[in-house]
Amino acid sequence: MRCVVSSFWLPRDGSPVEHYEDAYFPRRTGVRTTPRLRLAVADGASESMLSGLWAQTLVRTWCRSSRRRGMADVVATAMSGWDRTLVAYREGREAEARPIEWFEQPGLDRGAHATLLGVELTRPPGGDGRWSAVSLGDSCLFQVRDDELVAAFPLNDAAAFDNAPKLVPSSARHLSRVVAHLDRAEGTWRPGDVLFLTTDALAAWFLAGAAAGTAPWRALNGIACDDSAAFAAWATGERSNRHLRNDDLTLVRVEPSP
């Protein structure tokens, strides 16, 4: 299986790069030749501390896990390592002479939260290409074939986005709740299909455009692999005309072939 993977990201307008709280993996773009490819995007909840770091932990853990491990195991693994991450964070702050302030401690105690979308592509020898996806939250997968949207997961309506999506917490005591609320989907892919993994602001824009008949995937397909400047220019235009909500943006575009 050969996949061309293109990744684009942008912090919200007016925010520095270090305030970008989305995450995606793998970080390397370009051609990937492999019998199995895992990809993920996540959106850190801005109301919780270290949500961007938690989002990075989730996408890396998902993509580096074996096929036999489901989302529950992946989340449990990420949760089990979070205490070490917090220790390293505290030590880093102290080394910079910026120890944790008293007003920050409640946020650390509550833990970090993020959405997570994990996608796996396979093509068994002699068989059809397949994809499977798991989700908690409003980061979305879209599949386009022959200039038509043929799959949208887990949301398929721009009106479904709100300010209280499902979230993956960093606290292990909430693992059973996470597993109970997972969404799952699967399908097949053909050469020429394009899959898009997006966080919420871009997903809402995508679905609104699809409902209006504007074929939004054409604009995203027109951005060359690794052309971050073109993506930023496109996003600036869509934000200025208020078609695209001002939020962190993440897009992973996948073009699979045998």
pLDDT tens digit string along 68-79?
667 778 888 888
The most confident of 45-59, 130-144, 162-176, by mean pLDDT: 130-144
In this model, does residue 47 exceed pLDDT 90? no
- How many whole angstroms separate alpha carbon 252 and alpha carbon 245? 18
The predicted-structure confidence for 201-250, as pLDDT tens digits, reads as follows: 999 999 999 999 999 999 999 999 889 999 999 999 999 999 999 999 99
State mean pLDDT over 153-165.
89
183's CB contacts (< 8 A; 6+ apart) are: 134, 135, 136, 153, 154
Domain range annotation of the chain: 2-257
| Confidence at residue 24, expressed as pLDDT on a 0 to 100 scale | 97
Angle at 128 between CA 115 and CA 139, to 5 degrees: 10
Please tell me the pTM assigned to this model. Answer: 0.93
Say if CB 175 and CB 76 are below 8 A apart.
Answer: yes
What is the predicted pLDDT for the residue at 67? 65
Where helices occur in 36-187 by DSSP H, the ranges are 51-64, 71-80, 82-95, 105-110, 175-180
Q: Which residue has the higher pLDDT, 171 or 148?
A: 148
Interstrand relation of 30-33 and 194-198 (parallel, antiparallel or unpaired) = unpaired
Is it the case that residue 151 has pLDDT exceeding 80?
yes
**What pairs with residue 33 in β-bridges?**
2
Query: Rounded CA gap, 250 and 248, in Å?
Result: 7
- b/e per residue 136-148 (b: at least 16 CB within 10 A): bbbbbbbbbeeee
What's the pLDDT score for residue 130? Answer: 94
Band (59; pLDDT cuts 50, 70, 90) = very high
Q: What is the pLDDT of residue 48?
A: 81
pLDDT digits (tens, 9 = 90+) for 108-140: 888 899 999 999 999 877 778 999 999 999 999
Q: Give the single-character DSSP code of 65.
A: S
Cβ atoms of residues 222 and 164 within 8 Å: no
pLDDT at 69: 65
What is the arithmetic mean of pLDDT over 168-192? Answer: 85
Q: In this structure, which topology does domain 2-257 adopt according to CATH? A: Phosphatase 2c; domain 1 (3.60.40)
Q: Which residues contact 68 (CB under 8 A, 6 or more apart)?
A: none
